[in-house]
Every structure is written in structure tokens, then in C-alpha cells.
């Protein structure tokens, strides 16, 4: 992908490659016109985590061509005439950026940040809220730790809750500094109060989550089995009828009204 932010000897603008810091994935606005590229940064061996806002709808791609130019006649310091396309914006994410979920004008960004602990560098999990109306990131909120660069899950459920599932949570800062805490890989966050409600006890890697909206329940695959939680208070619900013979890695709500009930990958 190239942005017309350079000039040649005659003063004509030409495309220069867009730069990222270990881009790991992208999520999209609800109308599909904007891509938010997540630069993983330190979590993936880089230096700075960020979100890059990239206009998708007006991009020009020619058949058989592997790259395209933003349709713009001015350098990236201003908007493009006639097309009203703004240059790519980079938003620094202090808590790390390896997964995200977009809800209207708010983006929930999950990531890890390195910390020196007992002579070694470990990673601490964070959730950062990004205001897409003014492209600003808030202060990171501590959540379950995870394996750097590993897959995480994030989903919204009933009762203004956001759930984040991590893997390798015992390799992070929390376990190293307080191994008897019992904190696990699943975090329940209240989007109204903007606070972590609780961290579920450790029962294994949290590899899948699905929200059963309207019934105030969340299903999770943890440690190879399926568990059920209440979205009202995070309490565990009897799961004797969903015990799996074998190893459960993921869960899905088949009768959901939309795909938003199931995990964002």
C-alpha cells in the first residue's frame, strides 16, 4: 500500500510505501470504508504499538496489480481534493495492540506491554479505549496477561460487558509477581463504568468465547473444556450438561441473531 506523500524532481507526487511496526491484523468500520491496522509493536518484537486509520473505499487497485495508490493530489499533510480522503493517521497505543473490536465510535484494543521483572522481560495485558471521533487513545487498563503475539479473543455481551480471552496468561507479569493470586486468562470488563469487573480464576488457556445475548450468559472454552458465566456478575454457572469428551478449543452460538455473538478473531 502506498501513499502519495513524496515528490519527484519535477514536483509531482508519487506513492511512498506506508510504514507500520509489525502489523498483525486489521479491523474494519461498520460500513467497511475504513480499515484500522494494528501495529503490534513491542509485543511482536517491534518498538511502538499503534493503530493506523486507512481509508479503504476510495483506494485504486488495478487488475493484476499487487499494490495501489491513494487517490490524492496533495501530500499527506492535508486532505485530498475532490475525494475528501484524509491521509493515513497513526494513533499510538500505550497498552499494546494485537487485537481490537470496533463499536461505533469506540475501539477496544487489547495488547501486551513489556515490563522488567526479576531480571527478565515479561509482558502485561492491557485494554486501551480509542475514541474514533477524535482519534485519541485513553490510558491502558490492566487485564489478564497473555503470551506475546499469541491469539486473543474479544467480544461484547449482555449487561454492558466486554470479555477478553487470553492464552499463556501464567507467563506474564501477574503470575511472576503474585503466583498465588489465582487470576486466570478471562477478563470481564464493564463498558459503562469503563472498569474491569473481575478476572476469572485460572482453569487453563481461554481459547474461545461466545455471548448468548438476551440470556445474560457467556460460554467460554478454557483448558479444553466449556464453561458458562453470568454476565451480570461474572459468576460461574453449572456446566454439567456441556461437558466435552476430548478437548474443546472454541465455542459458537449457532442460533445467534448476528455474528457479533461470536468471537472476534
Read off the pLDDT of each residue in 27-45 and give the average, rounded to a whole number: 90
**Residue 58 confidence (pLDDT) above 80:** no
65 Cβ contact partners less than 8 Å away, ≥ 6 residues apart: none
* β-strands 120-131, 141-142 pairing: antiparallel
Confidence of residue 3 (pLDDT cuts 50, 70, 90): low
What integer pLDDT is reported at residue 37 of this predicted model? 94
Name which residue leads in pLDDT, 151 or 125: 125
Yes or no: say if 169 and 123 are a contact pair by the CB < 8 Å rule: no
What integer pLDDT is reported at residue 244 of this predicted model? 85
Tell me which H or E stretch contains 177: helix 173-177
In this prediction the pTM is: 0.86
pLDDT per residue as tens digits for the range 212-265: 999 999 999 999 999 999 999 999 999 888 888 899 999 999 888 888 888 766
Half-sphere exposure of 141 (CA within 13 A, CB side): 23
pLDDT per residue as tens digits for the range 153-201: 999 999 999 999 999 999 999 999 988 887 899 999 999 999 999 899 9
Read off the pLDDT of each residue in 101-116 and give the average, rounded to a whole number: 94
137 Cβ contact partners less than 8 Å away, ≥ 6 residues apart: 51, 91, 92, 93, 94, 109, 128, 129, 130, 131
Most trustworthy range by pLDDT among 2-11, 21-30, 69-78:
21-30
SS3 125: strand
**Residue 128 confidence (pLDDT) above 90:** yes
Q: CB 162: neighbour CB atoms within 10 A?
A: 24
pLDDT per residue as tens digits for the range 61-104: 667 766 666 655 444 444 454 444 455 678 999 999 999 999 98
Rounded CA gap, 262 and 213, in Å?
10
**Residue 203 confidence (pLDDT) above 90:** yes
Yes or no: say if 195 and 141 are a contact pair by the CB < 8 Å rule: yes
**Residue 115 confidence (pLDDT) above 90:** yes
Most trustworthy range by pLDDT among 31-35, 206-210, 240-244, 253-257:
206-210
Amino acid at each position: 500500500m502506498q501513499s502519495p506523500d513524496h515528490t519527484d524532481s519535477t514536483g509531482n507526487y508519487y506513492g511512498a510505501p506506508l510504514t507500520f511496526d509489525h502489523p498483525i491484523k486489521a479491523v474494519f468500520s461498520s460500513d467497511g470504508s475504513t480499515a484500522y491496522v494494528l501495529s503490534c509493536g513491542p509485543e511482536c518484537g517491534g518498538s511502538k504499538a499503534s493503530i493506523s486509520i486507512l481509508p479503504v473505499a476510495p483506494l485504486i487497485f488495478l487488475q493484476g496489480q499487487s499494490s495501489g495508490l491513494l487517490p490524492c493530489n496533495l501530500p499527506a499533510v492535508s486532505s485530498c481534493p475532490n475525494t475528501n480522503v484524509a491521509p493515513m493517521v497513526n494513533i499510538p497505543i500505550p497498552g499494546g495492540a494485537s487485537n481490537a473490536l470496533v463499536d461505533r465510535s469506540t475501539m477496544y484494543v487489547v495488547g501486551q506491554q513489556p515490563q522488567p521483572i526479576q531480571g527478565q522481560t515479561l509482558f502485561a495485558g492491557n485494554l486501551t479505549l480509542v475514541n474514533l471521533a477524535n482519534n485519541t487513545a485513553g490510558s491502558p487498563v490492566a487485564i489478564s496477561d497473555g503470551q506475546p503475539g499469541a491469539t486473543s479473543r474479544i467480544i461484547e455481551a449482555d449487561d454492558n460487558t466486554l470479555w477478553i480471552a487470553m492464552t499463556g496468561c501464567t507467563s506474564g507479569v501477574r503470575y511472576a509477581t503474585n503466583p498465588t493470586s489465582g487470576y486466570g486468562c478471562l477478563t470481564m470488563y464493564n463498558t459503562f463504568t469503563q472498569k474491569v469487573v473481575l478476572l476469572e480464576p485460572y482453569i487453563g488457556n481461554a481459547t474461545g468465547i461466545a455471548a448468548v445475548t438476551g440470556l445474560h450468559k457467556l460460554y467460554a472454552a478454557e483448558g479444553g473444556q466449556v464453561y458458562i458465566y453470568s454476565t451480570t456478575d461474572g459468576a460461574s454457572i453449572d456446566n454439567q450438561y456441556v461437558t466435552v469428551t476430548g478437548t474443546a478449543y472454541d465455542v459458537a452460538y449457532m442460533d445467534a441473531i448476528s455474528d457479533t455473538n461470536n468471537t472476534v478473531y
